[in-house]
Structure formats: C-alpha cells, structure tokens
A and B are shown apart, each in its own frame.
Chain A
Amino acid sequence: MTAHVSDDVLLDLALGEGAASERAHAGSCEACARRVEEARSAVALAQRAEVPEPSPLYWQALRRGVGQRIAEDGQKARRFAILAPLAAAAALTAVLVAAPGLFKKSRVEPGLAAWSALPAEDEDDDLRVLEGMALSGNDLAEWDRTEGLGVYLANLTDDESQVLAEGLRAHGQGGKS
C-alpha cells in the first residue's frame, strides 16, 4: 500500500480500528503515522469531556421520577378519554347554536298536520261566542264554566241574546251565533 491513508481510515486507526494493511502502512509511513497520532490526541481531547458522576442514590431517584411521569401521563390520558367525547359534544352544540342557518335546508316539513280533537281556530264557533261575550262586557250573565257553552246560551234572556249578538257584530264575527 503506497497511498496515504484517507480521512476515514485515519479515524478508524485513531479509534483503534482499521484493517491490518492500513495499520501496517501507518506504521511504516512517517506522514501517516504523524496524522494518526494527531487524530488520536484529538480523540483523547474529546474524551476529556467527562460527565460528573452523580450520587449512587441518584439512579433510584431518576427511576422514581420516570415512574411519576408515567403515572401522571396515564392520568392525563384517562382524563382526556373521558373529556374528549364531552368536549366534542360541546363543540357540536356550539356549532348548532352559532350557525342555525347551516341546517335550515335539511329541516323536513311535515307532510300531514298534527291531528287534534279540537276544531281549527278559524272554524271554532265557540271561540267566536266567547269573543263576543268578552266584548259585551258586564251586560251578560256570568258563565258557569261547569256547564257547557250551549247550556249557557240557551239560558240567556232575549235582552242578553241581543247584547251578545251586538258584541259579535262589533267583532265582525256576526251571523254565526
């Protein structure tokens, strides 16, 4: 081997590695031997950066610290598992409240009106009578609500019937009493 050693080989030799042929060359070549020795001194310099040895009790404290961190991490993970669905639901609620227009189009109109035993408001003659009574003020006998409206009307005097009829006309609902 006549060529001088490369940087890679120089490092290997400085670290006590390298092939036998390379070591042989460095041993016989003054220039390479000097470079290897210089590299070794740089390695030795770096190795002076010793780390101060902590107290023997420290390692136990380190393991305890790791254990605590793992335990705390587990608690956080469990809290997250519980709170995450709640947070998601809260976020969804906030979206629904803040942006009602987003879902307007998707609202389904009912195909049939809800059924009721009561007549529709505009077809309820009883309501008209009651409105007429209200407009007639104190000129009508008091309605005993335990009886039906029909019984009340049947018991009205002629004058009272007249007053009620005027009340209904005033309300624009006359002719249907």
Chain B
Amino acid sequence: MTSVALAFPPGLASSAVPRSGAELEREAERDAIAASKRGEREAFDVLVERYQRPIYRLCYRYVNNHEDANDLAQEVFLKAWRAIGRFRGESAFSTWLYRIAVNACLNFRARSRPEARELDEALVDPRPGAEWQVVREDDASRVRAAVGRLPDKQRATLILKLFHDLTHEEVAGILGSSVGTVKANLFHALANLRREMTGARQVRS
C-alpha cells in the first residue's frame, strides 16, 4: 500500500493521516458521484473520464466496430447521468455502470439481431473430459466474431470476466445472477468458443 504525500493547508498537515492512492481515488469518486447527483456536469465529466476506456472497450466487444461502440458508450454515460440520482451506493459505482452498459449492449444486440448468428446453448459440451483444443492461426477479429456469436449470458460473462478483470462476485452483481451461474456460463462460453474456432474438428480424450 503506497502512501501519497498531500499538500494540506498549513495547520492541517500534522493531524492528517496519510491515505493510500486507492483510498484517495475512492474518495474522489464518492465526491464526484455526490456532486453529479446535485447536477454538476463537471463532476460527472470526472466519472466519464475515469470509466470511458473500460466502457468503450466493453461496448466494442459487443458491436465489433468503432462507430457503434462510440455511439453505445455515449448512450451508456447519458443513461448513467439520467439515473445517477437513483444510485444509492449499495454496489460499487463501477458495478452499477457496467450493469447499465451490459443492458445497453444487449438492447443494441436485440435491435440488430438478424446480423448475429447466435450459437445454440445446446452446443455446450460440459463434460469434464472435453478438450480445449484451439486453432493457433486465428486472429483477433475472428475471435471477436466468435465471441459475438455466443449466447447473451455467456458472452456477457466472458467479456466481463476475461476482459475487465472482474471477480466472479462482481460479474454476478452486474448480471444479477449467482456466482455459480457465472462460473457455469463462463465454462460454457469457453467451450463454445473453442468449438466455434475449431469448427467441426474436435478431439476428445
């Protein structure tokens, strides 16, 4: 835990307890949220700046192109601004924001459904003996396209867990499901992804 030297006004420095960078960040975020609730746009800009990158990347993984990802990311922050008065702090702000983002992505996907050929959940082979053979020559775009064809819950779980470095509990909080369901969906998502990338060729032990 690293402490940060703060420039306190004279007279306050001796009574101030050094706080970690993470604590300061949390405090700054709390302040920004409180000010945003009062309608202060500048404070909300601080939150946008802090979360713009993960939200954009989350959106991109759903829509697979910059234009739609940009549009969706803006929509997510607009929805967050409208709803921030109702944010009670019962979950982390990031969890609350990710939930808005996932819902916006799912709605977007529902609107443009004909383009996506979603994998059948029944394709999942949950047997412990199934192998995870992969095709090495795949590029990022092919993998993204395969991720894009996963069923909604598997896709959301895979994206949040693998690309946003969230815990199972955090993913469960965002998706409104249990940790067990998150783990099952992730397992199935990886199995489906492997199946999608290897085509019909599947080696079993």
A residues engaging B (CB < 8 A)? 4, 6-8, 10-11, 15, 34-35, 38-52, 54, 58-59, 62-63, 65-67, 69-70, 73
B-chain residues with CB within 8 Å of residue A46 when the two chains form the complex = 143, 147, 158, 162, 189-190, 193
A-chain residues with CB within 8 Å of residue B48 when the two chains form the complex = 62-63, 66
A-chain residues with CB within 8 Å of residue B81 when the two chains form the complex = 66, 70, 73
Whether the Cβ atoms of B143 and A45 lie closer than 8 Å is yes
B101 contacts chain A at the CB level, 8 A cutoff: no
B186 contacts chain A at the CB level, 8 A cutoff: yes
Whether the Cβ atoms of B73 and A62 lie closer than 8 Å is yes
Whether the Cβ atoms of A62 and B140 lie closer than 8 Å is no
- Beyond A38-B132, A67-B45, whether A62 also contacts B56 by CB under 8 A is yes
Give B196 Cβ to nearest chain A Cβ, in Å: 10
B28 contacts chain A at the CB level, 8 A cutoff: no
Q: How far is the CA of A52 from the CA of B131 in the complex (A)?
A: 30
B-chain residues with CB within 8 Å of residue A43 when the two chains form the complex = 162, 190
Q: How far is the CA of A68 from the CA of B158 in the complex (A)?
A: 32
For A34, the closest partner residue in chain B by CB is B205
Supply 15 further A-B pairs (C-beta < 8 A) apart from A41-B132, A46-B190. Answer: A6-B128, A10-B128, A11-B186, A35-B132, A38-B131, A38-B133, A45-B138, A48-B138, A62-B74, A63-B48, A63-B52, A65-B70, A66-B78, A66-B81, A70-B44
Q: How far is the CA of A42 from the CA of B74 in the complex (A)?
A: 32
B-chain residues with CB within 8 Å of residue A4 when the two chains form the complex = 128
B-chain residues with CB within 8 Å of residue A58 when the two chains form the complex = 70
Whether the Cβ atoms of B140 and A50 lie closer than 8 Å is yes
**Most-contacted residue by chain B among A38, A47, A54, A62 (CB, 10 A):** A62
| CB contact list, B60-93 vs A, under 8 A | 60-61, 66, 70, 73-75, 77-78, 81-82
A-chain residues with CB within 8 Å of residue B146 when the two chains form the complex = 49
B residues engaging A (CB < 8 A)? 41, 44-45, 48-49, 52-53, 56-57, 60-61, 66, 70, 73-75, 77-78, 81-82, 126, 128-129, 131-134, 138-140, 143-144, 146-147, 158, 161-163, 180, 183-184, 186-187, 189-191, 193-194, 197, 205
**Most-contacted residue by chain B among A40, A58, A70 (CB, 10 A):** A70
Whether the Cβ atoms of B183 and A11 lie closer than 8 Å is yes
For A44, the closest partner residue in chain B by CB is B134
For B126, the closest partner residue in chain A by CB is A7
Whether the Cβ atoms of B158 and A67 lie closer than 8 Å is no
> What are 18 contact pairs spanning A and B, CB under 8 A?
A4-B128, A7-B128, A8-B184, A35-B132, A42-B190, A42-B191, A42-B194, A45-B138, A45-B143, A46-B189, A49-B144, A52-B60, A59-B53, A62-B56, A63-B48, A66-B77, A66-B81, A70-B44
A-chain residues with CB within 8 Å of residue B73 when the two chains form the complex = 62
Q: How far is the CA of A35 from the CA of B129 in the complex (A)?
A: 8
Whether the Cβ atoms of A41 and B134 lie closer than 8 Å is yes
Give B177 Cβ to nearest chain A Cβ, in Å: 14
Q: How far is the CA of A50 from the CA of B140 in the complex (A)?
A: 6
Give A77 Cβ to nearest chain B Cβ, in Å: 9
Whether the Cβ atoms of A47 and B134 lie closer than 8 Å is no
Whether the Cβ atoms of B193 and A45 lie closer than 8 Å is yes
Give A2 Cβ to nearest chain B Cβ, in Å: 15
Q: A42's contact among B56, B70, B128, B134, by CB below 8 Å, is which?
A: B134
